[in-house]
Structure 1
């Protein structure tokens, strides 16, 4: 059924239809495949109509061919170079080895946020109880005055 198309090959096609889940691309006059919305671009695609239109000429990579049904899965993003990730270091800085990064996560945390990192829930609970007791003691002093 696959004929001239092989998994991994890159071919030219024409967008023949667009649905919310993806775009149908004609590879030739008899065969067409589906580019799932997750394979349209490297970034998140909210609305496929912002990326593609019927009649667009596109380069696609053949991801899979189902011999029984004849369905062909295609990808546009696999034909494009991956963009460099500029945001990658940010999530790692607040991880277990972050060394104090990510202090702006909890507004109102006060002076207790200088030693951020991995804390168990038990450790955090102890800190919260300590803060609560200090606040309560301060309030009791004000009331007695």
Structure 2
């Protein structure tokens, strides 16, 4: 059977890899749902969303003319989109511990003095 971009099909999950899920569209044709197309939002583990043997509705989003590989998506068929919460990054430096560039600035003259004294004592 020939497929075209935009077709909505039903298939069966035949394999799962960290990068995506393989879906059998008919007896001869297989496509891949990339991990980014499994669902909206972030998919940490595909096995939490799909299992081998699951029937899935997918949409054809790309067909490679030369290799005839078919790219599929479940995400394009979703009616509700998962909004991912971006968490504020936490950095190690803590103002209360008084570590960072300010303390280096305070200690640098002492370290230079100690290094110069060591160098001058080695010359003697």
Which TM bucket (shorter chain)?
0.5 to 0.7
- 2:82 counterpart residue number: 83
Stretches of 4+ aligned residues off by more than 6 angstroms:
104-107
- 1:56 counterpart residue number: 54
Structure 2 CA distance for partners of 1:65 and 1:108, relative to 1, 3 Å: closer
CA positional deviation for 1:83:
2.9
Instruction: Select the residue among 22, 25, 28 that pairs with 1:27.
Output: 25
State the Cα deviation string for residues 34-91 of structure 1 (Å, max 9, x = none).
0111111112112211111110001111110012211000011111132356x47x87
Structure 2 CA distance for partners of 1:109 and 1:26, relative to 1, 3 Å: same
1:82 and 1:20 map into 2 onto residues whose CA distance is: 22
1:68 and 1:6 map into 2 onto residues whose CA distance is: 14
Instruction: Select the residue among 36, 40, 43 that pairs with 1:42.
Output: 40
CA positional deviation for 1:28:
1.1
The 5-angstrom pairing of residues 1-145 of structure 1 reads 3=2, 5-80=3-78, 81-84=80-83, 87=85, 108-109=94-95
Aligned residues: 106
Which TM-score applies when normalising by structure 2?
0.65
- Gapped runs of 5+ residues in structure 1? 92-103, 111-124, 133-145
CA RMSD of aligned residues (A): 3.1
Which TM-score applies when normalising by structure 1?
0.57
- Higher RCO (Cα < 8 Å, 6 or more apart): 2
State the Cα deviation string for residues 13-36 of structure 1 (Å, max 9, x = none).
110111121110011111110011
Structure 2 CA distance for partners of 1:107 and 1:15, relative to 1, 3 Å: same
